[in-house]
Structure 1
């Protein structure tokens, strides 16, 4: 009986040591991740409530360029996030809402969606360059396709979709729409007692 208790205690200690080592050796989060959990009404710090339920393209796409708020209204910056996406990739809404614009702006296809239940004025996401499959006024569900990435019109050096977020005329960080479980890649545990790592 004592041996079994000692064995259980030893296993617990080994697991605690492994978890502590995994936490210490884990790489730091990428710079484009929001630093803290967003708060519902924090327009002044560039965050928004985490109402998102899906990435606009793919599953955890590569962020080519993060959100860089300008120092002044007309200053230099990057008012959105560029996500790697090949031409023809479906573009999806991150949350439920209504299409407020679907058309061309300066030769680029743009789709804008007002997100339901996000206050007054509501949050509005924008995507470009996108060949729209929806029209102004359409109701869309979270994760629903609203178009595909166009082959031309992107400002990125690699194929991408630009994802923006606004409340009225104020640009916010669109990544703060996504809850942590969508932003972070799942952790991988180290093998126990020299076993092979999972493939």
Structure 2
């Protein structure tokens, strides 16, 4: 009889937290959540098979209230603050080719402003989720979208390993 023990592996499985280029997020979470307390995930990351197809290129977090403070998940520099179509968007470059975007978020920050992990970067506006106020958080590595949850949660899979 073989006995198995449920354990976490230290191996990265890149398909769990990748974009189309296959670049994995770190196994050890290094960023903080942009909402506090830790929010629920209302809609998960669902990247399209091809860049032009529909999908969900980030996660929706909440529910929360209008005017909730949004905080920087890591140190970075603001690369955009303004309207995209009809929504206020804030984008932050975090280094190593990573850029986060947050919507709908109004902010007094301007392009070029430095931000620190945990700093309030703006306030949440209504309008993204139809049934509740939520934050859409996207992360790109270069031109590829990656799962933001890989930067705040341990996304490594649990696997069964033999006891011996």
By the TM > 0.5 criterion, same fold?
yes
1:107 is matched with 86
1:126 is matched with 101
2:24 is matched with 47
For 1:111-139, what per-residue CA distance to the aligned partner results, in whole angstroms no more than 9, with x for missing partners?
A: 000003x2xxx200000000113111010
Q: CA deviation at 1:77?
A: 1.1
Unaligned residue ranges in structure 2 (runs of 5+) = 156-164
SS in 2 for 1:176: helix
Query: d(CA) in 1 for partners of 2:77 and 2:136?
Result: 19
Kindly indicate whether residue 122 of structure 2 is the aligned counterpart of residue 147 of structure 1.
Answer: yes
Q: CA deviation at 1:164?
A: 0.2
Kindly indicate whether residue 45 of structure 2 is the aligned counterpart of residue 67 of structure 1.
Answer: yes
SS in 2 for 1:101: strand
Query: d(CA) in 2 for partners of 1:168 and 1:45?
Result: 12
SS in 1 for 2:73: coil
Query: d(CA) in 1 for partners of 2:146 and 2:130?
Result: 20
Q: How many residues align?
A: 141
| The structure with more strand, counted as a fraction of residues | 2
Q: TM-score, normalised by structure 2?
A: 0.76
In structure 2, relative to structure 1, the CA distance for the partners of 1:102 and 1:175 (3 Å cut) is same
In structure 2, relative to structure 1, the CA distance for the partners of 1:88 and 1:167 (3 Å cut) is same
Q: TM-score, normalised by structure 1?
A: 0.64
Residue pair 2:125, 2:133 contacting (<8 A) in 1 also: no
Query: d(CA) in 1 for partners of 2:23 and 2:45?
Result: 9
Residue pair 2:72, 2:115 contacting (<8 A) in 1 also: yes
Q: What is the RMSD of the two structures over their aligned residues, measured on CA atoms?
A: 2.3
Query: d(CA) in 2 for partners of 1:46 and 1:79?
Result: 15
Q: CA deviation at 1:168?
A: 2.3
Decide which structure has the larger Cα Rg and report it.
Answer: 1
Residue pair 2:101, 2:139 contacting (<8 A) in 1 also: yes
Query: d(CA) in 1 for partners of 2:13 and 2:36?
Result: 23
Query: d(CA) in 2 for partners of 1:149 and 1:37?
Result: 33
SS in 2 for 1:76: coil
